[in-house]
Structure formats: structure tokens, C-alpha cells
Amino acid sequence: MNPRIDCLRAKTRAKEVSLSHERAVLVTDFYETHAAMGESIPVQRALCLKHILENKKIYIEDQELIVGERGPEPKAVPTYPEICLHSLEDLEILNSRPKVAYKVSEETRQIYKEKIIPFWKGRTIREKIFSAMAESWLDSFHAGIFTEFQEQRSPGHTAGGDLIYRKGFTDLKSDIRRCLGRLDFFKDPTALEKQGVLRSLDIAADALISFAGRHARELDRLAASEKNPERKMELEKMAAVCRRVPAHKPGTFHEALQYYWFLHVGIITELNPWDAYNPGRFDQNLYPFYQRDIENGTLTQEQAKELLSCFWIKFHNHPAPPKVGVTAKESNTYVDFCLINLGGVTPDNRDGVNELTYLVLDVIEEMRLLQPSSMIQVSRKNPDRFIKRALKIIATGFGQPSVFNTDAILQEMALHGKSLEDARSAGASGCVEAGVFGKEAYILTGYFNLPKILEITLHNGWDPRTKKQIGLETGDPKQFNTFNDLFNAYQLQLNYFADIKVRGSNIIEQINGAHMPVPLLSLVTEDCIENARDYNQGGARYNTSYIQGVGMGTLTDCLSALKYYVYDLKRVSMEKILAALEKDFSGEDILHHQLKKSPKYGNDDDAADDILRRIFRAFHDAVTGRPNARGGVYRIDLLPTTCHVYFGEITGALPDGRKAGIPFSEGISPVQGADTCGPTAVLKSAAKIDHLKTGGTLLNQKFLPELLTDEKGIQAVVHLIRSYFKMDGHHIQFNVVDEKTLRDAQKNPQAHRDLIVRVAGYSDYFVDLTEALQEEIIQRTAHTVI
Amino acid sequence: MMQNTHIFKIQRYSIHDGPGIRTSLFFQGCPLRCPWCHNPESQKMPGKIQTEEMDGLVLRLMAEIEKDRIFYDDSAGGATFSGGEPLSQPQLLFQLLEQCREKEIHTCVDTSGYADAKFISSLAEKADLILYDIKLMDARAHETLIGKPVFPVLDNLRLLSDRKARVCMRFPLIPGMTDTEANITGVISFLEKDTVFRKIHILPFHKAGEGKYAALNRENPMKEINPPSPERVAQVKAEFESRGFQVIIGG
């Protein structure tokens, strides 16, 4: 690492995360003046973005090469009061909570009290959502049956395609002009609406061009007064880059990176979409620029690496927008889920690994930063060398890059009506969510608590925690004669709650479509311009909504225990189990021990895994194919972020022997410690899920460091991955760490500030995790060799 | 993990007992008493398998082996029969070897070589790869430390060499026992003179089996002995290499 990068890296790591009122003030100013009142909502939103980008502070860090900050300085995180208004209590919680805190100054609190709160109270999307939801939705939400992704953040979950590497914003503006000219006010009754959308996209394009221009002017100013001739030249060059992009298509590697970065900052300033934004198929998109510059002799490999490192630091400067309440619990991290994709195949189906891929892997290893997250896409066509290079980074215990199956993603996409070329340009964003980059709005709607629904079923529709009848009356479980009776009751409840969730999400999509268009995100998502329709209204080529199932392993083990003891062996009565659950197994040690011995998921044992298959089918059938409000359909994902901890917290004792409040299994991983037959058995079990019918599944494995110390160990893991992917597994990642280190880190957090672990679909500093989550990770089975 | 009295442990994702990803079946029963044994629970001989039980047992074990076929295919792995001493239950071992061959699953047998010569000849024919231990060359030391004479081990190895069986030698490096200069030179010159085998794995002593002795209520004979230093391991490796051997550290 050269001194420049060393210094920038140290700065971003040391910088405290704070909350900035800058954006909140600018948005409020804009709406207070009513300057845009006569305009359509899309145009108002575009003008609002323009107002922010033309007035926010421009920050340029000493020595940096890529410019643009969302806040007034690095790690100063803005708020989005039009989506979710933080109360003074929220600000205090954010400021003082022990983990994932955001420092809030006295000035910010004052501004919130006097200006932001009075203006926005009663006008936010969050309030619109809650007031539009039916009582059954609210009951389910408060009981913890599901979460709602859009209650504090706007829809997003998307990644950029190759558009911006082909076209500058002036090109996009001429596309807009062409579409405006094509509008037929005689025959098209929606022409006016379309005109408004197209105008909003055009304004958003201007807004970002002018934001880049402000940077160019600031860089000129800095260059004029710069004493060091080398830096002076750099600043002049950077100013020239900012004049060129995003207005024009990029001509160099540096311009391509800067173009993306302006767009990234613009999109996460426009609103606070989930999973920020994402440069998509990074090595493929950037390779032509890299290759050309290297051939021209205008760029050396060292310079490319330095630019990439500067680019990496920009991501690290941007922690996730502050989350509170349930949203903070389901995603309790600073990580904002930008996931760099490497490898895979090209749109014309060749091996996508190139020279730049390896250079980026070097950068990932050297930077060792939580943000951006990174992954490798592994296709049958990619060489083993590529996987081994990534495993050598994973073996350092960093939890990055994660490993995805290109051939599975391709089928997941192509089987859902996408063209083959589009499917090949797909990837995974966020944690593990597959989508066609740059052309699909695939929106996650919330986590779905599969084990809690069993608790409700076992109480005949009643929730013991909120003490309410929130589900259907599917019968007293003591009266069920067969396992099928029990499963049918479960499935009825599952369908009932899926109905409630989908109905709510359709309303929420309409609220966002009507009130929160996103002109800038729409501008760069194909085919919003052609359709003259906003991203949030279904303007993208593909529009999918996801519900993410949580607790597959836990639920499988619960049903397996009931099937085994109550119905197959008839050794324990349902009555006895229900009574023990009521008491959280207190005084029921023998029964507790017994339940823990029933067949468990994760051991390649069909006695348990057949139940998993059945649960998967039930969940899939309850959701998949239902129409959403944007012209697409609902599908399922299986991932939790940190929601398996929250869902566990609000669920009582369960028949697999899990006590009340304990976290559920994570992703599609087995219950912590239940898998005792080694990693091949886990992979076989996990492959019994029909991955191709999902938009992403998440499997984490914990390996002791010894397992990856030598070439043979690394090679064996390459084979494990290839075999899992041959069975159509979607994703796998490894935590390479031993218990002693984790226990020691709990005791001496200061000595382990740098310890990084894989949580779910992302990595985080171990000491920043809640105690419940730390414990959950320690309890996971650690594979070793004897 | 499936267990019974004849196979005391089945280990999937075994990566140090032969090539690729393997499933290792550990046979109960061993005629030897190596003080460094890290599976002391496997030493006691099991009862004889009743004929009527044999088919069912083989069927169950084969089902377990076949579970990881997809991993064997990708990694050129297979099944490893270890122990204990797999040749202490020859009938079971040979049935499994035959079944694996029929089902095209690669097999490895990890043996001490202390067995009847007729079994060793069958092994040469039925196993795809034999992992063969060579421990102590000195007859007296072998008998004192391990409890059985060394000559069958050496004779059997000559036999395998004559039959051109695929053998991979394994040499446990135990401080104060097998790591003397005389023993190492003895092993090298025996292999050179009497066999064609030139590939050897050095297995440095480790303390993984320690807890097992306590669990068995037995005194750990290796309590006072520490693993050899990396320098010593490197030295021994160099010694073998200087004589033209291909050396791998570990399994």
C-alpha cells in the first residue's frame, strides 16, 4: 500500500460516524418555499435533488483521487425526512446506543426540533404507509410475523448495468428528447404523465452534471493555490475528469470510476434506497477502459490499483443511513450492502475473469475494508485459479469475497422470462439477491418469520407475546391426529400471513410510485426512458418483488421433532410438548434433551430434509407468481441480514429445543450446532432446497483456520464449492475463525477492533455486533479435520 | 455420523487420508499398541460379525459412502478405510472394497501392514491405493514399543512391491521413538533396497488424541512428549529427499 492510500485508509477507518442535518435542511428549504408546487410530483422530486446537489457542501479530501461525498464530510450520514422522520428520542438513541451509533450534535437536535420535525410530521412516507395498512397487517407487523423494508428506506435493491459506460448524460438527455418528441397526446391518454416523468429524468441528469461541475470548479480553486507541483497536476487532471463525466461517456479508467462514483452519490442522495447502489459487474464493465489505458501507456498497473483503492475508500466513507426500531434490528450494521461482483460469464457467454479481476482481488485483500462488500461469481467456465485466489483472502478471516454460482443465477433469471443475454449480465447485490443489473427493479419487501408462524399455529392463531388472536383458527393442535394435520394447519396460517404481507406491499408500492419517484435512479435503469415511466412505477425492463424467508433450519428441526416424537414414535404427547414450551422447558430437562436428539437439518438426513423440502414448497407456493403493483411478480429469497436475531427475540420456546428469545438459524444454514456430519453433509442438505426457484439463498459455513492453511485444504474447498454449485446451490461463504479468538474478543474488545466475521450476507467487525449476535456466531458448528 | 461396533466412526470431508475429498470409515480393532495412537478407542477387537448381519451392514455403510459421491467426482476423491486396522476385519473390508469397485468409487486402505500375507495379496488386487505405515526398523524396538514383531510388516511391504501395488508410504515422526537417525536411515535403505516405493508422507506427532485417553480412563503414554519442531520435520524431509524420495508433510 503506498503512503497516499495508507493515509486515506487510516483516515476513513478512524473517522467517527455522525449524523448530518445538511440534506434534511435542504429538502425542507425546498418544500417550504413551495417553489415547485405547480409541478408534477416526479418533476418536484427532480427539482428537489437539483436543489440539494447545487447547494450541498463540496468536500475534497487531501490526497484523494476520486471525489464526491454524500454528506458535508466523510462518514457524516444524511437523513431522509420525507421517508422517515427521526424524533428527538430517535436521535438520542442513535447518538448513545452502544453499537452502530451515529453521533448527533446539539446543533442538529436543535434544527430537528425547530425546523425538520415541525415541517415533516404527518407528511412522511413512513406515516403514509402505517396509516394505509389494515389492522391485520399492523397486528402481524407488531407481533413480528414480518418486517417492512419500505418503512424507513425507499425501494432500490438494484445495481448498475453497462449503460453508463456506453453513454454520457448528454446522450441520455437526447434519448429523453427523442421520447418526448414521440409522445402522442392524441392517442395516448397517459402522455401528460409520461411527459412529467421524462422531464424529471432530464432535470435529474442536469442536476448531476452540475454537481460534477461544482467539483471541477472546486478542484480548479484548489489547484490554483496548491504548492506541490505533483498534486497541482493531479487536481487539474481531476477537474478535467469532472468536466467530462457524467456529461459524456467515459474515455479512461479514471473517468469511468469517477462517473460511477458521481452516480452512486447522486442515487443515495436522491433517496435512501436499500443496498445503496452498486457498480454491478465491476471487472467486466471496467476492463475495456483498463485495457485501453494500459495499451496506450496512459495508465500503469500501479496507478490503476491506486485509483481502485481510492474508489474503495469512497464506499467506506458512506455508512448506511441511520435506522431505528425494527429496521435497526433487522439490519443492525453500518454496512450498506454495495456488493462488488467479479468473474462469471460475459454476455456472449465467455469466461468473464480477466486481468483486472485479479487486480481487484489484490485491492480487496490489501484494503480489508468492510465496505464495499465483494463477491466472486463462479461459473463452470471460470478457472480454479480464480477461486483459489479468492479463498486465500477468505482464509485470512475477512468473510470476503463471498462465493456465488453464476450458472444458478443464470437459470434463476432465465427461468423467469428474462432474455438469455440479460440473464448473463445478472449478478447478486445486497446480501445474495439476484437480479439483472441495470435493467431490473427487484425490490425486497421484508423478512418473513417462518418459525413464528409455527408458534401461532401451535396456539390456534393466537400470539402469546402480544396476547392477540392474529392468525386463523386452524384447530387445537392436541386434536391433530397426523403430521399432515399439523402441516396443513401450518400451511393455512402461512398462506394467510403471506396474503396480508402481499396486500400490504402492493399498497406500499403504489404509495412509493405515486409519492416518491426516483428520477435519477430511473435515468440509469433501462427501460425507464423508453417507457417514460419511473423506476418506482414499474418503468424498468423487469420488476420483481421479494419476500425473504427466515428460519428455515429452525422450522425444519421443529417440525422434525414433532413428527418424530409425537406422530411417528408416538413417544411424547403434543400436550406435554406444549406445556414444556409454555414453561420454556424449565423443569423439563429430559424432554428438552430428547427433543434435541430428533433428526436435524444439515446432516444429509432425509428424515429432516424432506420436511425442509415441504416447507420450501409451501413458502414458494404461497408467494411466487403473485402480481405486484409494478407489473411484475412476487418471488422468494432466503436470507436474514440480522433479522434471525430479532425474530428469535420475539418468539417463545420451540419444539426443536430452542429456548425463548434465542436467535434462529441464519439464512439456509443449519441450526447452530445441529449439523454434526461435516461440511459435505451440510451442502447436501442445503442443496435439497430448490435454489433455482428463488432469487437468492444464503449459506454460511464456519471453518477452523487449520482447514485452509495449506494448498490441499484450499484445493478441497474449491472442490466443495464446485460440487455445491453442481447441485445448483446459489451462494456459500466461510467464516474462518476459532472460538477462542471470538471469546477473547468478547472479553477484550479493544484488542480485537480489527476482527471481522461473516454475519449473514455481509461481514462486520465482531466487536460491533450485539451480544446476542456474537453468541449466535460462536454457537455455529465449526468444521475441522481430524 | 453413523457408528456401530465394527466401524467406530465415519468421517465425511476427510481431506488428509488419500487424494481429494473422501469419506473415511474407521474400523474397530487393532493388533498393535502404538503409544502415539490417536484413536486409542479403536484398539479393542470387536466381536465377530454374524453372517446374517453382514449384508445389512455392508448395505448401510455403502449408502453412507455413496452420499458424497458428487464430491468424490469433482475432487477425484473416494472412500478410505482406516482404523484401528481395517485388515483386522478382512471380510467386511473386502466386501466394501468390492462394492466400491463395482460402483466406481476410488478406495484407499490405511494399514499398519501387520496382517496375514494372504490378506495383503487380496488388498493389492482390490484397493486402488494403499496407505502403508512404516514405523520402526529395529525388531527389538518394534516389539517392545508396539507389542508385535516387525517382520510381517516388512515382508508384506516387499510383497506389495513385487505385485506393483499402488502404495503411498507413511512415516509417523515420533520424538524419541521413530525419529532417531538409525531408524530414519534404516527406513530409507529398506525402502530403497527392498521396494519400489519412493513416495512418503511424514506424519509429525500431534497431541490431538490426548483427551481420548482421559475419556477411556487410560494413562496417556505420550503425556511427556511434544510434537517435533518444524525445523526437525524439515530436516527429516530433506534427508528423505536427498535420497530421491518424494516427501509430503502430513496426510
* Per-residue pLDDT tens digits for A446-473: 999 999 999 999 999 999 999 999 999 9
Confidence at residue B1, expressed as pLDDT on a 0 to 100 scale? 43
Q: Report the residue of chain B nearest A604, measured CA to CA.
A: B67
Q: Which domain holds residue B179?
A: 7-249
Q: Give the span between the Cα atoms of A66 and A317, in whole angstroms.
A: 12
Q: In this prediction, what percent of chain A has a pLDDT beyond 90?
A: 88
Query: Does A719 contact B74 at a Cβ distance shorter than 8 Å?
Result: yes
| Angstroms from B19 CA to nearest CA on chain A | 9
Cβ-Cβ contacts under 8 Å for B193 (sequence gap 6 or more): none
Cβ-Cβ contacts under 8 Å for A566 (sequence gap 6 or more): A483, A572, A573, A574, A577
Q: Which chain A residues touch B63 with a CB distance below 8 Å?
A: none
| Angstroms from A317 CA to nearest CA on chain B | 41
| Angstroms from A359 CA to nearest CA on chain B | 28
> What are the angstrom distances between the C-alpha of A318 and each of A23, A128, A449, A522, A686?
14, 28, 30, 22, 34
pLDDT in tens, A596-654: 999 999 999 999 999 999 999 999 999 999 999 999 999 999 999 899 999 999 999 99
In a domain, A565, yes or no: yes
In a domain, A238, yes or no: no
In a domain, A536, yes or no: yes
Q: Is the pLDDT of residue A207 over 60?
A: yes
Query: Does B21 contact A786 at a Cβ distance shorter than 8 Å?
Result: no
Complex prediction ipTM: 0.90
pLDDT in tens, B14-26: 998 999 999 999 9
In a domain, A735, yes or no: no
Q: Report the residue of chain B nearest A723, measured CA to CA.
A: B71
Confidence at residue A34, expressed as pLDDT on a 0 to 100 scale? 81
How many domains, in total, are found in chain A? 1
In a domain, B81, yes or no: yes
How many domains, in total, are found in chain B? 1
Q: Cell numbers 519442531 correspond to what residue?
A: B229
pLDDT in tens, B85-119: 999 999 999 999 999 999 999 999 999 999 999 99
The catalytic residues of A are: 431, 433
In a domain, B1, yes or no: no
Smallest Cβ–Cβ distance between B74 and the set A679, A723, A786 belongs to A723
Average pLDDT across chain A, whole number: 96
B70 touches A at CB < 8 Å = yes
Cα angle, residue A533 at apex, residues A529 and A539 outer, rounded to 5°? 85
Q: Which chain A residues touch B60 with a CB distance below 8 Å?
A: none
> What are the angstrom distances between the C-alpha of A488 and each of A491, A555, A560, A618?
5, 15, 15, 10
- At residue B3 the predicted structure's pLDDT band, cuts being 50, 70 and 90, is low
Q: Is the pLDDT of residue B2 over 70?
A: no
Question: Hey, what amino acid is at A785?
Answer: V
Q: Cell numbers 500501479 correspond to what residue?
A: A302
In a domain, B188, yes or no: yes
| Angstroms from B158 CA to nearest CA on chain A | 30
Q: Is the pLDDT of residue B251 over 80?
A: no
* Cβ–Cβ pairs < 8 A, chains A and B: 57
Q: Is the pLDDT of residue B222 over 70?
A: yes
A684 touches B at CB < 8 Å = yes
Confidence at residue A106, expressed as pLDDT on a 0 to 100 scale? 98
Mutate to test the interface with A, among B13, B21, B23 (most CBs of A within 10 A): B13
φ/ψ of A142, rounded to 5, equals -70, -30
Q: Which chain A residues touch B77 with a CB distance below 8 Å?
A: 719
Q: Report the residue of chain A nearest B20, measured CA to CA.
A: A716
Q: Report the residue of chain A nearest B23, measured CA to CA.
A: A680
Smallest Cβ–Cβ distance between B74 and the set A679, A726, A786 belongs to A726
In a domain, A600, yes or no: yes
In a domain, A571, yes or no: yes
Q: Report the residue of chain A nearest B209, measured CA to CA.
A: A786
Q: Which chain B residues touch A723 with a CB distance below 8 Å?
A: 21, 70-71, 73-75
pLDDT in tens, B120-176: 999 999 999 999 999 999 999 999 999 999 999 999 999 999 999 999 999 999 999
In a domain, B245, yes or no: yes
B75 touches A at CB < 8 Å = yes
Chain B residues 173-232 with CB within 8 Å of chain A: 208
Query: Does B250 contact A726 at a Cβ distance shorter than 8 Å?
Result: no
- CATH no. for residue B111? 3.20.20.70
Residue A544: burial class (beta carbons within 10 Å; 0-12, 13-18, 19+): buried
Task: Provide long-range contacts, Cβ within 8 A and 24+ apart, for A586-591.
Answer: none
Q: Give the span between the Cα atoms of B100 and B79, in whole angstroms.
A: 8
Q: Is the pTM here over 0.90, yes or no?
A: yes
pLDDT in tens, B41-64: 889 999 888 888 999 999 999 999
Closest CA to A647 of A195, A365, A331: A331
In a domain, A580, yes or no: yes
Confidence at residue A785, expressed as pLDDT on a 0 to 100 scale? 61
In a domain, B2, yes or no: no
Helix and strand numbers (H, E) in chain A are: 33, 17
* Mean predicted confidence (pLDDT) in A750-766: 84
Q: Which domain holds residue A606?
A: 442-685
In a domain, A507, yes or no: yes
- Can you read off the three cell numbers belonging to residue A588? 423439563
